[in-house]
Chains A and B, each alone.
Chain A
Amino acid sequence: MTDDKEMTDTDLEAIFDAARAHPPDVPEQLMKRVVADAATHQPGRSGWARLFDMLGGLPGLGGMATATCVGIWIGVAPPTNVPDFAGQILGFEVTTDEGLEGATLTGFGWDIEEGKSDG
């Protein structure tokens, strides 16, 4: 006669069934790491292709290109309200004033001509 307090094969199989029905989910980050490892070590791929993958593929490069263009744009033509970061970091600002008293403009006599026209 089976002891009522004994675990049977049927009991154990029910527990195994539950375990089989609910396997642990693979964490998304683990899957990403594994796929990234595979891309890094894939044979027959050029160094540029691996660098391309490391930078995040096309979306990653798109973001980098956009950031680069914006940076150059702000550097060449900074908006009025954007402070001079170089001046803040260095502690001083260097400005050049190519005024009318300079030789560059007066050498061509433009100021004289303008004076004549006014007169």
Chain B
Amino acid sequence: MEAGRAFPARLACSIQVNMPSQPDTDGSDPEAALLARYAAGDPSAARLLSAKVLPRIYAHAVRVLGDNSEAEDVAQDAMMRLWGIAPTWRSGDAKITTWLYRVVANLCTDRLRRRRTEALDDIAEPADPAQSIEQKLQRAAREDALQAALNTLPDRQRQAVILRHIEGLANPEIAAILDIGVEAVESLTARGKRGLKAALVDQRAALGFENDR
């Protein structure tokens, strides 16, 4: 990825304002403290902060995009934005992780949108998700099946399900990341789970659930 790549104006604006998710109730935000040390010139702070947050946002990008290479670009881009905003970051505005997830979510949305634009033929006649999953499950374990099922969900549902059920975030934080209300998060995750079940139902035996009950 090229350093300092242009950031979409819509995203650049949207991540600066209206971040309702606050730091922890005790006022501590270890990531914010590290970012402040980085901004003050501490050369070790960037490595420590990267070790804490990069695995989370990279994993999120991998699961949303289903492509490791694209996920690397997104994660690096998001971290670049973090370094850039470090001098003006105000503790108490929002949690660093929430801000980062939001940047990653928007970058992923942009990429998924471009994919749709570049592959209109595929959208016009989408492949049968069950068939695609079945082919994958012949050589894949549950994680691969989950990724394949996630890929069948619309972008917002996919992000909400991943943030809620895999990243383990609370609904208010997901609402802040996706810039929607808490009720909308609940609706997205519920519909997302229904979509996953529908995508996975034909693979129950292959996933080892046949004899669970």
- Contacts from A to B (Cβ < 8 Å): 2, 4-16, 18-20, 22-27, 30-31, 33-35, 37-45
Contact = CB atoms under 8 A, between A and B. Distances in A.
Contact of A42 (B1, B41, B54, B55): B41
23 contacts: A8-B213, A11-B197, A14-B209, A15-B145, A15-B200, A16-B146, A16-B165, A18-B146, A20-B166, A24-B59, A24-B71, A26-B54, A26-B55, A26-B75, A34-B46, A34-B75, A37-B76, A38-B79, A39-B43, A39-B46, A42-B38, A42-B83, A43-B87
Contacts of A8: 213
A37 B80 contact: yes
A43 B84 CA distance: 9
Given A18-B146, A39-B43, A41-B80, A23 B75 contact: no
A43 B39 contact: yes
Which of A19, A34, A37 lies at the interface centre, i.e. has the most chain B CB atoms within 10 A of its CB? A34
Q: Which 8 pairs from chain A and chain B are nearest by CB?
A: A38-B46, A44-B41, A7-B197, A23-B59, A41-B83, A24-B62, A16-B165, A34-B79
A3 to B, nearest CB: 9
B204 A31 contact: no
Contacts of A23: 55, 59
B143 A19 contact: yes
Nearest to B46: A38
A30 B145 CA distance: 26
Nearest to A44: B41
A25 B54 CA distance: 10
Contacts of A18: 141-143, 146
Interface string B18-59: 000000000000000000001111010011001100110011
B158 to A, nearest CB: 13
A43 B62 CA distance: 30
Contacts of A2: 213
Nearest to A45: B41
A10 to B, nearest CB: 8
A45 B200 CA distance: 52
B146 A19 contact: yes
A4 B51 CA distance: 44
